Amino acid sequence: MLFRTVTIDDVPALAALMSRAFDARYGEGWNGSQLLGTLAMPGTRSELALIDAAPAGFTLTRNTGEDCELLLIAVDPDRGGQGIGTELLRRSTEFAKHSGIRRMFLEVRSGNTGALRLYERRGFVCVGQRKDYYVGENHLRFDAITMALSF
């Protein structure tokens, strides 16, 4: 597995990866325009995991002062169970820590037990909940759990 910084040229491949990684019924995934707009913002960092030169997963974070937010983490579902998400999360938290960040935050859909376990194993704890944070198919709404990791 290789890692590199995401470039603008990667956006179409990442949008395609997100459409496979995030079930549309929950409203968690972003489209290419949202990704492109966020990548242009100051303090944003995105890292891509590659296996055999193909995108296997990525993270998107944004630093604001001493805080960092994990905006997205996506793994190709055909590559699930290979530790890609774990390694991407580890790399993001370590980069943040060594960049002087004091806390990292994220939102995760309530009921997404796999993601919750991943974050808890890395040391994230629940610090709040956002009602109706995600809007999925047919306008169904899902709560998000806000988690934080202090360095």
Tens digit of pLDDT for each residue in 5-53? Answer: 999 999 999 999 999 999 999 999 899 999 999 999 999 999 999 999 9
Core vs surface per residue 119-139: b (16+ CB within 10 A) or e: beeeebeeeeeeeebbebeee
Q: What is the pLDDT of residues 49-63, one digit of tens each?
A: 999 999 999 999 999
The whole-chain average pLDDT of the chain stands at 96
The active-site residue, picked from 119, 120, 134, 137, is 119
DSSP helix/strand/coil, 78: helix
For the record, the structure tokens of 35 come out as 């990704």
The structural domains of the chain, ordered by start, are 2-150 (3.40.630.30)
Is residue 47 annotated as a catalytic residue, yes or no? Answer: no
SS3 content of the chain, % helix, strand, coil (to 5): 35, 40, 25
Catalytic residue from among 107, 120, 133, 134: 107
What pLDDT does 105 receive?
A: 98
107 is catalytic: yes
| pLDDT classification of 104: cutoffs 50, 70, 90 | very high
CA geometry: angle 34, 132, 17, nearest 5 deg:
35
